């Protein structure tokens, strides 16, 4: 299918696809089994400039946008959803600086992020603040020209391997979401340490662990935006990063489908390939249709954001919901097509099913996304009635 990519976008897609097939594929099983971070592959991403595809030229990037990030994330995720997060997770941690940073902050931090010399992480989630993102307990108290941070963030992608952490903390607990502020915390800052490393079901090549602040001193010049704008910074970030999760889901779904279609063509039962049976053909037909529909929605949303549209929360939530559900459905059906072998680690298909599940959960569960979509629909309907 023609996705009407520009010449530059096609080149980026082909580059990411080649790296995924030639460099990522041979080490996927090893990193998944060992739950090890793929520094060897990160170097390949750096050399290829994949960390810069969505960064404007004025900051040293290739001048692309969300669409370019979506393309890269999808291609890498077709081979490994976990390894793709080295790029996508860094983009999530970089967006607050890109969107809300001042000239000095961008000049200080973006060059190394663009070059892939530094990875980034976004620290919002806490034990008591998952879906209830406004219930953050991490505190930031200003003392002179510094803020003192205390608290714990958990389930943080790229934690312990990143050098730059964008953190949302409460500066005025009495004001709820309006009392949160955002900060840039550099690795090596006294009082910053890392706790439990999560042993995950899927995306095991991505590092996920606790980020702990104990009297962590952060300069005032590292605050993003004004005090009290932290929740706004976080929401602007997530509205632009959710298509990345959706692209990860599309890539996982496509990778699972490709393996299932190949297996159905080769596996024989009752003297002929299982792909010749109508029941399997119907499964493959539905899987292919769902993947294409998800991709179309993700690409449309990415282009909408890149066009400068202001109201993007509903569409961002929609593509995340649909793509995440598609990844889970398609990967589950792919395992079914493999039959008993699909349940065994002798074949790579079971990993796609494990990796798919997280796309329904992180950066806002699909249940929360449906709430967001529903609220926007009712608000838009009410404005029309008036």
Nearest to 20 by CA among 53, 44, 1: 44
Burial 53-63 (b: 16+ CB within 10 A, else e): bbbbeebbbbe
Contact 157, 122 (CB under 8 A): yes
Give the pLDDT score at 15. Answer: 98
Q: Give the C-alpha distances (Å, rounded to integers) separating 283 from 277, 337, 338.
A: 10, 8, 12
197 has pLDDT over 90? yes
Q: Give yes or no for residue 243 having a pLDDT over 80.
A: yes
- Tens digits of per-residue pLDDT, 6-57? 999 999 999 999 999 999 999 999 999 999 999 999 999 999 999 999 999 9
Catalytic residue at 126?
no
Say yes or no to pLDDT of 142 above 90: yes
Query: What's the pLDDT score for residue 361?
Result: 97
Just give the CATH number of 7-118.
1.10.540.10
Q: What percent of the chain has pLDDT over 90?
A: 95
Q: What is the mean pLDDT of residues 285-301?
A: 98
**Quick one: which of 241, 237, 260 has its CA closest to 359?**
241
Residue 108: per-residue pLDDT: 97
Per-residue b or e along 269-301, where b marks 16 or more CB atoms closer than 10 Å to that residue's CB: eeeeebbeeeebeebbeebbebbbebbebbbeb
Residue 374 has what pLDDT? 98
What is the rounded distance in angstroms from the CA atom of residue 336 to the CA atom of residue 285?
Answer: 14
Find the mean pLDDT for residues 222-241.
96
Mean pLDDT over each residue of the chain, to the nearest integer: 97
User: Is pLDDT above 80 for 1?
Assistant: no
Q: Is the pLDDT of residue 281 over 80?
A: yes
What is the average per-residue pLDDT within 237-266? 98
Sign of CA dihedral 88, 93, 94, 98: positive
> Given a cut of 80, is residue 380 above it in pLDDT?
yes
What is the reported pLDDT for 246?
A: 98
Q: Is the pLDDT of residue 176 over 90?
A: no
Q: Is the pLDDT score of 2 beyond 80?
A: no
List the Cα angle 117/119/124 in 5-degree steps: 160
CA pair distance 248, 4, nearest whole angstrom: 20
pTM score > 0.85 for this model?
A: yes
Mean pLDDT of 124-153: 93
- 155: confidence class by pLDDT, cuts 50, 70, 90: very high
Angle, vertex CA 81, rays to CA 79 and CA 18, nearest 5: 35
- Is 364 buried (19+), middle (13-18) or exposed (0-12) by CB count in 10 A? buried
Q: Which of 34, 58, 363, 380 is an active site residue? A: 363
Residue 109: its pLDDT value, please? 97
Instruction: Among 124-138, 281-295, 310-324, name the one with the lowest average pLDDT.
Output: 124-138
Tell me the domain boundaries of the chain.
7-118, 121-227, 232-380
Confidence of residue 72 (pLDDT cuts 50, 70, 90): very high
The pLDDT, as a whole number, for residue 131 is 82
Name the class of domain 232-380: mainly alpha
CA distance 386 to 381: 9
CATH domain 121-227 topology: Butyryl-CoA Dehydrogenase, subunit A; domain 2 (2.40.110)
Confidence of residue 177 (pLDDT cuts 50, 70, 90): confident
pLDDT of residue 115: 96
pLDDT of 91: 98
Look at residue 5 in the predicted model and tell me its pLDDT: 96
- pLDDT, tens digit, 9 for 90 and up, residues 93-109: 999 999 999 999 999 99
Residue 129 clears pLDDT 90, i.e. is over it:
no
């Amino acid at each position: 299918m023609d996705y009407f990519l520009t010449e530059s976008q096609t080149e980026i897609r082909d580059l990411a696809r080649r790296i995924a097939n030639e460099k990522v594929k041979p080490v996927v099983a090893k990193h998944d089994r060992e739950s090890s971070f793929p520094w060897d592959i990160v170097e390949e991403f750096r050399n290829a400039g994949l960390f810069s595809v969505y960064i404007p030229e004025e900051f040293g990037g290739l001048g692309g946008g969300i669409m370019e990030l979506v393309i890269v994330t999808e291609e890498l995720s077709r081979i490994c959803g976990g390894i793709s997060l080295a790029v996508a997770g860094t983009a999530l941690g970089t967006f607050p600086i890109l969107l809300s940073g001042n000239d000095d902050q961008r000049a200080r931090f973006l060059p190394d992020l663009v070059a892939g010399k530094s990875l980034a992480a976004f620290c919002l989630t806490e034990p008591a603040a998952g879906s209830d993102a406004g219930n953050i307990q991490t505190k930031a108290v200003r003392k002179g020209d510094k803020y003192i941070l205390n608290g714990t963030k958990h389930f943080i992608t790229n934690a312990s391997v990143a050098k730059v952490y964008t953190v949302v903390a409460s500066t005025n607990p009495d004001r709820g979401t309006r009392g949160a502020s955002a900060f840039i915390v550099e690795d090596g800052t006294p009082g910053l340490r890392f706790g439990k490393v999560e042993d995950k079901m899927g995306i095991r090549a991505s590092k996920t662990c606790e980020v702990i602040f104990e009297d962590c001193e952060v300069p005032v010049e590292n605050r993003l935006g004004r005090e009290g704008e932290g929740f706004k910074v976080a929401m602007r970030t997530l509205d632009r990063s959710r298509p990345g999760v959706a692209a990860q889901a599309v890539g996982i779904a496509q990778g699972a489908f490709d393996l299932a279609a190949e297996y159905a063509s080769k596996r024989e039962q009752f003297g002929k390939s299982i792909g010749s049976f109508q029941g399997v053909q119907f499964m493959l037909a539905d899987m292919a249709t769902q993947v294409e529909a998800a991709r179309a929605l993700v690409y449309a949303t990415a282009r909408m954001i890149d066009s400068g549209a202001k109201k993007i929360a509903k569409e961002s939530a929609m593509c995340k919901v649909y793509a995440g559900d598609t990844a889970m459905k398609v990967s589950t059906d792919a395992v079914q097509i493999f039959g008993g072998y699909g349940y065994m680690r002798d074949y790579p298909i079971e990993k796609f099913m494990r990796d798919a599940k997280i796309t329904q959960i992180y950066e806002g569960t699909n249940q929360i996304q449906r709430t967001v979509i529903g609220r926007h629909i009712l608000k838009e309907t009410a404005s029309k009635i008036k």
